[in-house]
Chain A
Amino acid sequence: GAVVSQHPSWVICKSGTSVKIECRSLDFQATTMFWYRQFPKQSLMLMATSNEGSKATYEQGVEKDKFLINHASLTLSTLTVTSAHPEDSSFYICSARDPTGTSGVNSYEQYFGPGTRLTVT
Chain B
Amino acid sequence: ELKVEQNPLFLSMQEGKNYTIYCNYSTTSDRLYWYRQDPGKSLESLFVLLSNGAVKQEGRLMASLDTKARLSTLHITAAVHDLSATYFCAVTGTASKLTFGTGTRLQVTL
Please list the residues of chain A having a beta carbon within 8 angstroms of any beta carbon in chain B.
32, 34, 42-46, 49, 57, 93, 95, 97, 99, 106, 108-115, 117
Number of interface residues of B (CB under 8 A): 21
* Contact between B48 and A112, CB atoms less than 8 A apart: no
Contact A43 B42 (CB under 8 A): no
Of A46, A106, A108, A112, which contacts B43 at CB under 8 A?
A112
Interface CB pairs A-B, < 8 A, 25: A32-B96, A43-B88, A43-B101, A43-B103, A44-B43, A44-B88, A44-B98, A46-B97, A46-B98, A46-B99, A49-B97, A57-B95, A106-B48, A108-B50, A108-B92, A108-B96, A109-B45, A109-B48, A110-B98, A112-B42, A112-B45, A114-B42, A115-B41, A115-B42, A117-B40
Q: A43-B88, A46-B98, A111-B45 are in contact. List 7 more A-B contacts (CB 8 A).
A: A46-B99, A57-B95, A97-B96, A106-B48, A108-B48, A112-B35, A114-B41
In angstroms, how far is the closest chain A Cβ from the Cβ of B89? Answer: 10
**B52 located at the interface, meaning its Cβ lies under 8 Å from any Cβ of chain A in the complex:** no
Report the bound CA distance from A109 to B42 in whole Å: 15
